[in-house]
Chains A and B, each alone.
Chain A
Amino acid sequence: MSDADASGASDGDGSGAFGAAIERGEDVPLLTGSGEYTDDISLRGTTHLAIRRSDHAHARIESIDTSDAEAMEGVLAVFTGEDVVESGVPNTIPTAWDLPGLVQPQYRMLATDKVRHEGTPVAAVVAETRHAASDALEHIHVEYEELEHVTDPVDAVERDVPPVHDEAEDNVAFDFELGDADATDEAFADADRVASVDLRQPRLIPNAMEPRAALADWEEATGKLRLWMTSQNPHLHRMLLSAGTLGLPENKIQVIAPEVGGGFGSKIYHYPDEAVTAWCSMQLGRPVKWQATRSESYLTDCHGRDHVTTGEIALDDDGTIRGVRVETHAGLGAQLSQFGTATPSYLYATVLSGQYTIPAIHCRVVGAFTNTTPVDAYRGAGRAEGIYVIERLVDVAARELEMDPAELRRRNLVPPDEFPYESAAALVYDSGEYERAMDLALEHVDYEELRERQRELRDEGRYIGIGIGSFIESAGLSPSGLAGDLGAQAGGWESSIVRFDSTGSVTVLAGTADQGQGHRTTYAQVAAEELGVSVDDVTVVEGDTDRIPQGMGTYGSRSASVGGGSIARGAREVREKARRIAAHQLETSVDDIEFDDGEFHVAGAPDRSLHIQTIAHEAYLGHDLPEGMDPGLEETNFYDPENFTYPFGTHVAVVEVEPETGEIEIERYVAVDDCGEIINPMIVEGQVHGGIAQGIGAALYEGAAYDDDGHLRTRRMDEYVVPHATQLPDFETDNTVTPSPHNPIGVKGVGESATIAAAPTIVSAVADALEPFGVDHLDMPITPESVWRATGGDN
């Protein structure tokens, strides 16, 4: 499977935990149903919140009559946006990323003036049961004056439509540029050829298995709010609730993320709903629970993607890429979600160099307000959209040059000795052996032989296609200073506490927040490796702002590299303190103490030793410590990495397309990923499987659409599908290992890689299959009907 030499990953001595394919400790509680999700938690006197949402895409609220709803049995209160305003809370959902010239319209918890997308919250009902609350919704009478709406990001800025926000008359939230326009123009003028592609990347709906939920408990006597919620970043939510919506001091808010059933980005954000839940508890003095239905998730969870793009690539006849130029319209939805501005700008434009040495790159991004659900980061966020563009361009260019697409890639890969590589899109890549991963992927499918088979089959009227997706990902956005320079309103660090308990067990408190990634297993492996203890001796705690002092959360493939890096650094500090205690008690100098498999021993005298867990006990006894040393054995660590990490790899898909019906069959899917050192191969493989599934979903099945009335047309699971297991091929996964030189444990992250890779790989394969029909690109999702039409079946 892997050529990882895991023991080289860590300078801990011993336990072999790092790199082991051990089973996930979280699976037994999750699979047997004892795991506790937000909706499983009930407090005495819990009431239930339901939210009345706009049926219109764009309308002015004329009046809201809540009296009928208020009179219903079981209904405790009905609140409108005016009630929230009158309560005097700050009532502002903030962006978390500024851009030059950014228009930041007001974003309130409940709408007061206009509704700007279908699903905008306009009123809140609190009742004794969730059914009573839900039933009351239709008895709230809202009168609207309908306004003309716009759902397409190009129409929004180019057509004469009423603005979504008066502050942005032309619906432009920002007009962003990255790269050197003049140098790019020059490169295009000098190059032998130019190839281009016009493409759309449709909106995707995240579809976490657990819809969002919140349970708020306001305690009037202490002025403290406890809020259980489906959060990928409880500390960030605490900060945004404090500074943005509720105005409570941070130390009076406890955010708890219990088990969280998936996020894919959708649970990063501060939405109105959870703030309304908390605010209602503050009004009523009773616990209030809100559990989104799947229908609400479709309408309100931030969507992903939504780009309309023209990409151009300039090359010489020998295949040397000279420049890339991209102009894209990115739909932001009706409001700016926290990273809605960063995702289509910095996270997108900066990866347009992909794995290639491209001397000149220029990208312009027009961020457009539309009367749609807000768009923000969804697994792959920005990187997926950017890599999709460069990979489509390379394929189209290969066709233009009549060159094999693998060969064209090979000629332009950043060579291993060029790292750290500074791209023309403003990133410094840490490390990479791109050709090694590509070769391995091509080897798995017998690439040359496969091309031969493709030619033979074409003669028989059968059409197989070979798709290649070579990608990089920028993971673990950091350092904080750089993020700040680019506009981030939050840091890129992570924090943890590594603590030996007095009897030798270890508790790790981590500021990240698992939603299925398996942190309780992988973090235990990192700590166990550094401390020389068994994985079973380590308990990982996440997701509670009162227990874990600080943290940034889990998103952007950051947990292994930034969170894991922090834990490793903290564990090393703990180990070094233990070493000093060992030296003291063994009556030798620290330099003479060796550490092996949890045991400190005197160099040259292996029988004079103390186990680290014994020292933990000594540290808390405090009877016999080195002079001046404080008791206890724990460290708090803040880790601010010096750079992103750059996972990479090449995926290859083999598809067969039946032109008569347009049906696409995926014959093989090979994924070669390099995520640096591998903490747990089984978990990496799981991430790759899930990522491929979501990438294939985007390529062939998913794609949210709005109808002419501005209503979400794909509003249910039978109208928008997450691919079923039966619609996916067997995944063949493999790894190369190129450690990240600046990360303490050499890891790069793998949370989003496969999602980024799979969409362009599949589209590449379908387009390759359809080469005899002159088709070089099809927009996602590629349905059988779109293939049938592209091949002229409808003529």
Chain B
Amino acid sequence: MYTNDFDYYRADSVGEAVELLGDHDGAELVAGAHGLLPRMKTGDESPPALVDIGQLNGLDAIESSDGGSISVGALATHAEIADSEIVREHAAALADAASELGDPPVRNGGTIGGNLAHGDPRSDPPAALLALEGSLEVRGSDGERTIDAAELFEGPFETAVADDEIVTAVRIPTDDDAVSGYRKRRDPLSGYAMVGVGVWLRTDDETIEAARVAVTGATTTPARLSGVEDELEGSAVSEETITAAAAEAGTALDADAFVSDVQASAEYREHLLTIDTERALYDVLDVGQ
């Protein structure tokens, strides 16, 4: 299908983009346009105006800072993130998610800021961001603020990024004693995550000191799996712990949290979530299997 009519503006600075968003009610930002444009073609969204920030300079840097965090510019592409040594070393879950996302054209065009602000519940980075407890730096007409991952995802295609705000960077805390990863089960139809599990664990050699586990794809909104986290924290690094924790995958979620579609029912997704949580834990922990 064709998109409805829309006006197109190209911003030359973040400030100008904020202004344009303020001036045009209902306007949406695009950078790579890989999230929004397909939904405009299917009629799922019809913004009256697009503000293109894809050409802005200086928003794609990937840097580690002294304060124990890394910063990923909002316009960094998924391909750049997947290839980044800094991300691989300090935020492996995000590197995994970026490398699993879409296909090469999407990874080369799509940007992390747009992806997270778009809030597609089938996309990969949300589970990684939640598990890594990252945050978004945003700028709007009221200045700058930070949105924590836990506050970000409000519903399908709904995020805490306001209509006149622009994501400028993704900040992820680093921890040399932690490991992380993201495991994806691809929906054979769409290529999005049917189930995606992000895992972040801090361990000494024997005990899991802290755990953060999050899901995307299986649920209508990306979410933390607190049942799994509770079971992991303070437990020994062992196959038994993994099995027991994975069994809790669905417990903290509402019964209607799971997606049901042509390809997979909610019941089946819930089953897969247990399996994939277990496998995601094995991926990052040095035990068994």
A residues with a Cβ closer than 8 A to B are 130-131, 134-135, 293, 295, 660-662, 700-701, 705, 713-714, 716, 718-721, 723-724, 727, 783-785, 788-789, 793-794
Whole-angstrom distance between the alpha carbons of A714 and B263 in the complex? Answer: 10
Chain B residue nearest to A660 (CB atoms) is: B275
In contact, A794 and B267 (Cβ under 8 angstroms): yes
In contact, A661 and B275 (Cβ under 8 angstroms): yes
Q: If A134-B2, A135-B5, A718-B189 touch, does A785 touch B262 (CB 8 Å cutoff)?
A: no
Q: If A131-B2, A660-B275 touch, does A705 touch B262 (CB 8 Å cutoff)?
A: yes
Whole-angstrom distance between the alpha carbons of A379 and B146 in the complex? Answer: 56
Query: What chain A residues lie within 8 Å of B145 (beta carbons)?
Result: none
Chain A residue nearest to B264 (CB atoms) is: A785
Query: What chain B residues lie within 8 Å of A719 (beta carbons)?
Result: 189, 261-262
In contact, A721 and B188 (Cβ under 8 angstroms): yes
Contact of B268 among A131, A720, A727, A785 (CB under 8 A): A785
In contact, B189 and A713 (Cβ under 8 angstroms): no
In contact, B2 and A785 (Cβ under 8 angstroms): no
In contact, A661 and B188 (Cβ under 8 angstroms): no
Query: What chain B residues lie within 8 Å of A783 (beta carbons)?
Result: 263-264
Number of interface residues of B (CB under 8 A): 20
Query: What chain A residues lie within 8 Å of B190 (beta carbons)?
Result: 718, 721
Whole-angstrom distance between the alpha carbons of A784 and B191 in the complex? Answer: 15
What's the minimum C-beta distance from A48 to chain B, rounded to whole angstroms? 11
Query: What chain B residues lie within 8 Å of A713 (beta carbons)?
Result: 262
Query: What chain A residues lie within 8 Å of B2 (beta carbons)?
Result: 130-131, 134, 293
Contact of A788 among B4, B262, B268 (CB under 8 A): B268
Flag whether B255 is at the interface (Cβ < 8 A). Answer: no
Whole-angstrom distance between the alpha carbons of A380 and B262 in the complex? Answer: 25
Query: What chain B residues lie within 8 Å of A723 (beta carbons)?
Result: 188
Chain A residue nearest to B267 (CB atoms) is: A794
In contact, B271 and A793 (Cβ under 8 angstroms): yes
Query: What chain A residues lie within 8 Å of B261 (beta carbons)?
Result: 719
In contact, A720 and B271 (Cβ under 8 angstroms): no
Give the secondary structure class of B's interface. loop
Whole-angstrom distance between the alpha carbons of A662 and B271 in the complex? Answer: 11
Binary A-proximity of B248-268 (CB < 8 A = 1, otherwise 0):
000000000000011111011
Chain B residue nearest to A789 (CB atoms) is: B268
Binary A-proximity of B1-43 (CB < 8 A = 1, otherwise 0):
1101100000000000000000000000000000000000010
What's the minimum C-beta distance from B263 to chain A, rounded to whole angstroms? 6
Whole-angstrom distance between the alpha carbons of A793 and B192 in the complex? Answer: 24
B residues with a Cβ closer than 8 A to A are 1-2, 4-5, 42, 188-192, 261-265, 267-268, 271-272, 275
What's the minimum C-beta distance from A273 to chain B, rounded to whole angstroms? 16
In contact, A727 and B42 (Cβ under 8 angstroms): no
In contact, A295 and B189 (Cβ under 8 angstroms): no
Chain B residue nearest to A703 (CB atoms) is: B262
Whole-angstrom distance between the alpha carbons of A724 and B188 in the complex? Answer: 9
Some 24 contacts from A to B, beta carbons below 8 A apart, are: A293-B2, A295-B1, A295-B42, A660-B275, A661-B272, A661-B275, A700-B188, A701-B188, A705-B262, A713-B262, A714-B262, A718-B190, A718-B192, A720-B189, A720-B262, A721-B188, A721-B189, A723-B188, A724-B191, A785-B263, A785-B264, A785-B265, A788-B268, A788-B271
Query: What chain A residues lie within 8 Å of B42 (beta carbons)?
Result: 295, 716
For A701, A705, A788, the residue with the greatest tally of chain B CB atoms inside 10 Å of its CB is A788
Beyond A130-B2, A701-B189, list 14 extra A-B contacts (CB 8 Å): A131-B2, A134-B2, A135-B4, A661-B272, A661-B275, A700-B188, A716-B42, A718-B189, A719-B262, A720-B189, A721-B188, A785-B268, A789-B268, A794-B268
Query: What chain B residues lie within 8 Å of A727 (beta carbons)?
Result: 188
Whole-angstrom distance between the alpha carbons of A724 and B102 in the complex? Answer: 13
What's the minimum C-beta distance from A700 to chain B, rounded to whole angstroms? 8
Whole-angstrom distance between the alpha carbons of A785 and B4 in the complex? Answer: 37
Whole-angstrom distance between the alpha carbons of A719 and B2 in the complex? Answer: 19
Name the 8 nearest CB pairs between A and B, nearest first.
A718-B190, A721-B189, A785-B268, A134-B2, A295-B1, A293-B1, A785-B264, A719-B262
Whole-angstrom distance between the alpha carbons of A293 and B4 in the complex? Answer: 14
Chain B residue nearest to A295 (CB atoms) is: B1
Whole-angstrom distance between the alpha carbons of A718 and B267 in the complex? Answer: 21
For B1, B263, B267, the residue with the greatest tally of chain A CB atoms inside 10 Å of its CB is B263
What's the minimum C-beta distance from A128 to chain B, rounded to whole angstroms? 15
Query: What chain A residues lie within 8 Å of B264 (beta carbons)?
Result: 783-785
Whole-angstrom distance between the alpha carbons of A721 and B261 in the complex? Answer: 14
Query: What chain B residues lie within 8 Å of A705 (beta carbons)?
Result: 262
What's the minimum C-beta distance from B52 to chain A, rounded to whole angstroms? 20
What's the minimum C-beta distance from B157 to chain A, rounded to whole angstroms? 15
Whole-angstrom distance between the alpha carbons of A497 and B191 in the complex? Answer: 48
Whole-angstrom distance between the alpha carbons of A752 and B265 in the complex? Answer: 34
Whole-angstrom distance between the alpha carbons of A724 and B191 in the complex? Answer: 10
Query: What chain A residues lie within 8 Å of B262 (beta carbons)?
Result: 705, 713-714, 719-720
Whole-angstrom distance between the alpha carbons of A701 and B188 in the complex? Answer: 8
Whole-angstrom distance between the alpha carbons of A660 and B189 in the complex? Answer: 21
Whole-angstrom distance between the alpha carbons of A335 and B189 in the complex? Answer: 29
Query: What chain A residues lie within 8 Å of B265 (beta carbons)?
Result: 785
Whole-angstrom distance between the alpha carbons of A662 and B194 in the complex? Answer: 14
Query: What chain B residues lie within 8 Å of A794 (beta carbons)?
Result: 267-268, 271
Whole-angstrom distance between the alpha carbons of A131 and B4 in the complex? Answer: 9
Query: What chain B residues lie within 8 Å of A724 (beta carbons)?
Result: 191
Chain A residue nearest to B2 (CB atoms) is: A134
Query: What chain B residues lie within 8 Å of A718 (beta carbons)?
Result: 189-190, 192
Whole-angstrom distance between the alpha carbons of A784 and B271 in the complex? Answer: 12
Query: What chain B residues lie within 8 Å of A714 (beta carbons)?
Result: 262
Query: What chain A residues lie within 8 Å of B275 (beta carbons)?
Result: 660-661
What's the minimum C-beta distance from A179 to chain B, rounded to whole angstroms? 37
What's the minimum C-beta distance from B34 to chain A, rounded to whole angstroms? 13
Query: What chain A residues lie within 8 Å of B5 (beta carbons)?
Result: 131, 135
What's the minimum C-beta distance from B22 to chain A, rounded to whole angstroms? 28
Whole-angstrom distance between the alpha carbons of A275 and B236 in the complex? Answer: 72
Whole-angstrom distance between the alpha carbons of A720 and B4 in the complex? Answer: 24
Chain B residue nearest to A138 (CB atoms) is: B4
Query: What chain A residues lie within 8 Å of B189 (beta carbons)?
Result: 701, 718-721
Query: What chain B residues lie within 8 Å of A130 (beta carbons)?
Result: 2
For B189, B190, B191, B271, the residue with the greatest tally of chain A CB atoms inside 10 Å of its CB is B189
Chain B residue nearest to A707 (CB atoms) is: B262
Whole-angstrom distance between the alpha carbons of A316 and B264 in the complex? Answer: 42
What's the minimum C-beta distance from A429 to chain B, rounded to whole angstroms? 38
Whole-angstrom distance between the alpha carbons of A776 and B178 in the complex? Answer: 48
Query: What chain A residues lie within 8 Å of B1 (beta carbons)?
Result: 134, 293, 295
